[in-house]
Each structure stands twice: as C-alpha cells, then as structure tokens.
Structure 1
Amino acid sequence: MPNRRPRGYQPQWKPRARTRELLAAVDRILERYAVQLPLTIRQVWYSLISDGVLVKEERTYKQTVELLGMARRSGRIPWEALRDDTEIRAEPVAYEGPDNFSAGLRRAALEYRLDRQAGQPVRLEIVCETAGMVPQLVAVADPYGVPVGSGSGFNALPAKRGAALRAAADGHRAVRVFVVSDWDPSGVHLFSALAEDVTAFAAVDAPGTEVVFERLAVTEQQIAEHQLPTAPPKASDRRSFSGISTTQAEALPPDILADVLKAAIVSHRDMHVLAALLEREEEERRRLLQNLGFDPDAD
C-alpha cells in the first residue's frame, strides 16, 4: 500500500505479490456470490476467513478495508460490487424536457404493481441490523412484496410505533417480523427491544392483532452448522447474553442467508393467491400502458 493516504482514482496502483493473491481470492468471492452483489466489506472479510485466506483478527479486517479501497480506486474491482451505506443524499426530481418526462412516465407504468401481500394470512416484514445487507434481502423479499428495514432505523422510537400503526391499519391480520442480527449482546438486545416495544405499542394501537418476532439469522444452530467464525463477548458489554461466543450476521454466507430468507417467506405464503394477484397485476399494467398511449408489448 502507498505510504501516504491515497486520494481520488489510483490507476497506476501496482499491488505486490501478496496483495495480488488477496485480490484473486476476492475475485473468487465476488464471482461466487454474483447473485447477491453488492456485498459489504465485512461479508468479503468473513468469506476470506472461511476460505482460509485470512485469520479473524482486527488487523486483517483493516487490511481488507484498505485493500478493497485501493482496488476500487484503481478500477481493479467494480465500485458496484461493494456497498458501504454511509452516504445519505436527497436528490431533487427534474426532467430534461417533455420527452424525458414521458419516458419516465412509461417507466413508472412498467413498474406498476399491486400489494403482493394482499390476501395472505400473515403480513411479513424484515429487519436487518446491518444496513449494508438490506439490498441483498430486498432482492429476495421484493418479489413477494415484503418490506425490508435496517435495524438502526427501525429501532428508533417512531419507527417502532409505526410498526404497530401498520398492524392497526391492516385490520386484525397477524404480523410476523423476521430479524437478521448479530449473535452478540447488541444483536440480542436489538431483537428483544423491538419485540417488546412493538408488541406493547400494538397492544394499544392494534388490540387483538398477533405480532410475532422471529430471529431468522444468525442463530446458534447456523453458527454450528456452517462453522462460522466466532469471538468472545466483549467484557465491556454488560447486557444480558446467554451465548458463550459471538458471531456477526455478515459471517453467514450471502447465498445461505438468501435461501434461509426465501424459505421463511414462502412458508408463510399462499402461492395460489400470489399467482392470481400477479396475473391481475400484469393485466392492469398492460391496460395502464395502453391508457397512457404506450404500446404494452414494446421493449
């Protein structure tokens, strides 16, 4: 790595032999999880550990951060392959002109969809402690119309009350919230705080509505089954924790997490109801395009 902190693009970067070996290992990981991209840096790091390329130490994580930073600056790894989720940006809506607006209108009509949870016996939601993993979960959940939120945002007081209000607005249909969080005092506390607070709000705002929280990942069974890397609990964290070791949710391979989430969603879906709704959705989308003057069969 350069002696000074790099700035901007680094097209002249010439990694050493050991760094090239690490990059080749990263290439294999990005290819393996191509369907789940973008990955978080921590997911890449845990994959390098699982592959026996790195050991689980703080120094190797910092090494991975630096490596992936230079790899993106130099063009060695596509920027789109990784997700950081540190930027919050609000972009005003604007158009180049009427034709551009018309094209946007057509795109909006093509994206027309119904509430894909309508008619289902249980309304589902997903909460992920790590914001960077949200896009991967969305890729699995979106076809079923299941919303995904980050734990940092969902754990805010208004968000927890909002979950109860959504349950109230949905009538008396049962609600199930899948939670993906670390197996450590923080992740366990996130789960219990969400479950207790949302349930308490729902008891007032949506009386009679069943609200169930289910820990989807990472679990002790998954840790043992997939031999995930662990670390001892931090001595400074005095919150109640029944485990003898900790594991981050990002240690669970992305493809396995995707399979776990899809199986959980499907187990609570009536697929015949969903198929009928998707058929109606397609018919209404075509009619909407025609009403707006667009050819529904055009590419």
Structure 2
Amino acid sequence: MLSAVDAVLDRYREHLPVSLRQLFYVLLSDGVLEKTERDYKRMCEYVGMARRAGRIPWDMIRDDTQIAADAPLSFTGPEDFWRTVETAAAEYRVDRQAGQPARLELWCETAGMVPQLVRIGAEFGIACFSGGGFDGLAGKHDAAVRAVAGGRRTRVLHIGDYDQSGEHMFTSLAEDVIAFAGDAGAQVEFERVAVTGEQVAAYHLPTAPPKTTDRRSFSGTATTQAEAIPPDILAALVRGAVEAQRDPVVYREVLAREEAERRAIREFLARASHPGGRPAE
C-alpha cells in the first residue's frame, strides 16, 4: 500500500499537499483499495505510521483538523526589518483582478482542497474559502459585504460534493449570499465548477448510492465526493473556469504595471540605502 501511496504522491507532486480523502480516492481508482470504511481507516493508519517514521514527508499530506494562528510579526532587529522590507518589495503585487468585468472568489466544500485552490487563485489574485466558513449566517453575510466592497459584479466559483448535501449547500449558499448582497445593491453570481453529473461520467469517478436517510431532492442517481476528482483534473477544471471569466488583454496589462511598479520600488530602496544596508537618515 505504501508503495502505491508513493506512486500517487509522485504522480501529483505539482499539486501537493493532498488530503487523506483525496489520496484514498486515487488509490480507489488505481484499484489498490476498495470503497469501504475499513480500507480508508487502514490507509490512514499506514500513512500515519509512515509519516511518523519519516518515510512520507509531513508537508505532502494536508491535515484538515488543525487550526493555527501565526504569532504577531516581529523582528530580531533593524537589519532583520530592512531585509523584510526588501523581500516585500521583491514580492510586490497589484490587484490582479483590477479592470476585470467580475471579481472572482473560489469556494470549496472541503477545507483540504484550499491549498490546491490557493495555488491557482494566487496567480490571478483570487481569494479562496472553504465551505466551513459559510455554514452560518455570519459567513454568508461576510461574503456579501466583500461583494459590496468590491464595487462590481462578483462571481463565485464553487467546488462541492455531488450528493444531496452538496447540492443543497450550494443552493443555500447562493440564495443567502445573493439576497444579502442584493439588499445592498451588489450583484453576486454562483457557478458550480465541480462536481457535476457529466464529470462523474467523463472521468469515471467512484460513486456510492445516495443516503436513504437523506430525503432531500437530488439530481443524480449516485453520489461522488469532490475529493474523488484527481488533483490534476481538478486544477484544470478550476483554471479553465477562471480563465473563462478573465479578459486576457487586461490581465497582461495589469501584470506589466505590476512589474514596472515593483522595479520602481526596488530602485527607490536602493537609492535610499547606504552601504550598511539601511536607509539613510
């Protein structure tokens, strides 16, 4: 099993970290495991031991249960501060959504997918959120406030499970956020990027029967979790949805302005500093 895990991590090395659930679905598609709770728990146990032993690097697997907050920014001294300023100048970015017809956000139902979405979103200046932040009214209202502050049309690209819960969560999110934003005169649209019934068939995703205890309506006959989509396919779907909403000419102009401003800032810092590396008094 661990050899199969190694192969999966190598196959998707450009999309790491992956969650345990994503890893399970890839192994399922590869025929290594069966879709049972027993096999899932066994895989988690083996992967956990391999991580403890150093066989699998810790940063290759995304843990969804830990919530952490960084310590306040601090410095060892003035030299450290100016090195941070120089780094910030080298990484200077403008709003890469400036001038576009709609402000985009990426939302996903599962927190473990956020790092992968961030990799795509960062390129285009798009914020990413997990569904857990929108379960309550406060989270939905915050999304509407962002739409109002954006001053233009907002389009939410959403990734969620293909089941009763996923469909109703998407509908509930859309209805509440659109209503909250509409009351303040802002326009919000929602687009279902994944999972869809067509994608289940096209990519031969593993399925399970709908829960008999869930009586809510469902458009499909079998369910699929979003993490069942292979990471490379998910990345392609998200990138395609983003690029479909972007004006490439405007985007290139923004990148050119960003580079020019970054260069000007670095030149200013170079002129303002003395040989010791600190700005002149």
TM range (shorter): over 0.9
* Counterpart for residue 14 of structure 1: none
* Counterpart for residue 19 of structure 1: none
* Counterpart for residue 109 of structure 2: 129
Deviation of 1:294 (Å) = 7.8
* Counterpart for residue 93 of structure 2: 113
Deviation of 1:82 (Å) = 0.5
Q: Distance in 1 between matches of 2:107 and 2:158?
A: 5
* Counterpart for residue 104 of structure 1: 84
Amino acid aligned to 1:177: V
Q: Distance in 1 between matches of 2:153 and 2:68?
A: 35
Tell whether the 8 Å contact from 1:127 to 1:154 is kept in structure 2 after alignment. Answer: no
* Counterpart for residue 78 of structure 1: 57
- Match among 44, 67, 87 for residue 88 of structure 1: 67
Q: Distance in 1 between matches of 2:100 and 2:261?
A: 20
Deviation of 1:154 (Å) = 2.8
1:213 to 1:294, Cα distance in 2 relative to 1, 3 A:
farther
CA-to-partner distance for each residue in 1:86-135, whole Å, 9 max, x for gaps? 22222322222222222222222222111111101111111100001101
- Cα RMSD (Å): 1.5
Please tell me whether residue 175 in structure 1 is matched to residue 150 in structure 2: no
Q: Tell me how many residue pairs correspond in the alignment.
A: 271
SS in 2 for 1:182: coil
Q: Distance in 1 between matches of 2:70 and 2:181?
A: 35
* Counterpart for residue 147 of structure 1: 127
What is the TM-score when the length of structure 2 is the normalising length? 0.92
Q: Distance in 2 between matches of 1:203 and 1:276?
A: 31
Please tell me whether residue 39 in structure 1 is matched to residue 18 in structure 2: yes
* Counterpart for residue 275 of structure 1: 252
Q: Distance in 2 between matches of 1:68 and 1:98?
A: 44
Amino acid aligned to 1:243: G
In structure 2, runs of 5+ residues without a counterpart are 273-281
CA-to-partner distance for each residue in 1:61-106, whole Å, 9 max, x for gaps? 1011101101100011111110012222223222222222222222
SS in 1 for 2:270: coil
- Match among 246, 256, 260 for residue 237 of structure 2: 260
SS in 1 for 2:177: helix
* Counterpart for residue 278 of structure 2: none
Deviation of 1:242 (Å) = 2.7
Q: Percent identity?
A: 54
What is the TM-score when the length of structure 1 is the normalising length? 0.87
Amino acid aligned to 2:64: D
Deviation of 1:188 (Å) = 1.0
CA-to-partner distance for each residue in 1:197-240, whole Å, 9 max, x for gaps? 001111111x2x43211110111111011111111122222333
After TM superposition, what 4+ stretches of structure 1 lie above 4 angstroms from structure 2? Answer: none
* Counterpart for residue 52 of structure 1: 31
Spell out the pairing of 1:227-246 with structure 2 (5 A cutoff). 227-246=204-223
